[in-house]
Amino acid sequence: MAPRFIARQLANPHGWFGRVIGRLMNFHNARMNAFAVRELDPGSSDRVLEIGFGGGTSLPPLINSGAFIAGIDRSHAMVARARHRFRKAIAAGKATFLQGRVEAMPFATNAFDKACTVNTVYFWPSLEGGFAEIFRVLAPGGRLAVGFLPKEYMDRMMMPTDIFTTRTPSDIFAALRASGFDDVRVGRPQADVHWCVVSARRP
């Protein structure tokens, strides 16, 4: 299957193959998502935002934490799937899922206590623009967790560069700090894991 077709589906899952991609993302991203949720440590009184939730592998533990969960994704198919799968949480007023992009999110300023995003930064038109918008919707003291595979490993996949922009940890650190975040740090569950989760705080 053509790398360009796969890349486009990873960026924006749609159609029947989008459902397959959603399941594959859940399988391949499971450990990174679980670690990102653990780093975020959501509590029952928190309002948590997930950006680019894709197949939704991190949504069950977030919802089970008792927090209010908002999700935004550029894929209509993934939003529809989440709305169906988590319809009870939506009906209880504990979750909402919307279609949109990180650079212009339909949420109020200071709306969330915590936010996370996993394997999405490759598709953002601007790291600074995305992080500035996340900074806006986070309340003071709010925390952000960003999971991704660094450039040195992502480049080996030979994804089309007009769809994927690979990122180094230094790229992420610099953009977070330029957007106003502090207490920026990187975490991995063990030293031999290639992916990482960068966390930061809105002052």
Check if the beta carbon of residue 15 is closer than 8 Å to that of residue 78: no
**CA 55 to each of CA 97, 104, 140, 161, 188: distance values in angstroms, whole numbers, following the listed order:** 13, 21, 30, 23, 22
Check if the beta carbon of residue 139 is closer than 8 Å to that of residue 115: no
User: How far, in Å, CA of 144 to CA of 104, rounded?
Assistant: 17
**CA 73 to each of CA 86, 175, 177, 202: distance values in angstroms, whole numbers, following the listed order:** 15, 21, 24, 22
Identify the pLDDT of residue 17: 47
Identify the pLDDT of residue 29: 73
* Closest CA relative to residue 50, chosen from 4, 107, 1: 107
Q: Tell me the pTM.
A: 0.86
Element (H, E) at 3: helix 3-11
- DSSP E strands, the chain: 47-51, 68-73, 95-99, 112-118, 138-148, 182-187, 196-201
Identify the pLDDT of residue 158: 79
Q: Across the 203 residues of the chain, what is the mean pLDDT of every consecutive 10-residue run?
A: 52 50 57 92 97 91 97 93 96 97 97 96 96 98 97 86 89 98 94 94 98
Domain residue limits at 122: 3-9+17-201
Identify the pLDDT of residue 85: 95
**CA 7 to each of CA 18, 101, 115, 150: distance values in angstroms, whole numbers, following the listed order:** 11, 17, 25, 17
Instruction: Look at the chain and report how many structural domains it folds into.
Output: 1
Q: What is the CATH number of the domain that holds 108?
A: 3.40.50.150
Torsion over CA: 63, 34, 30, 13 (sign): positive
CA angle in degrees (0–180, nearest 5) for 98-32-138: 45
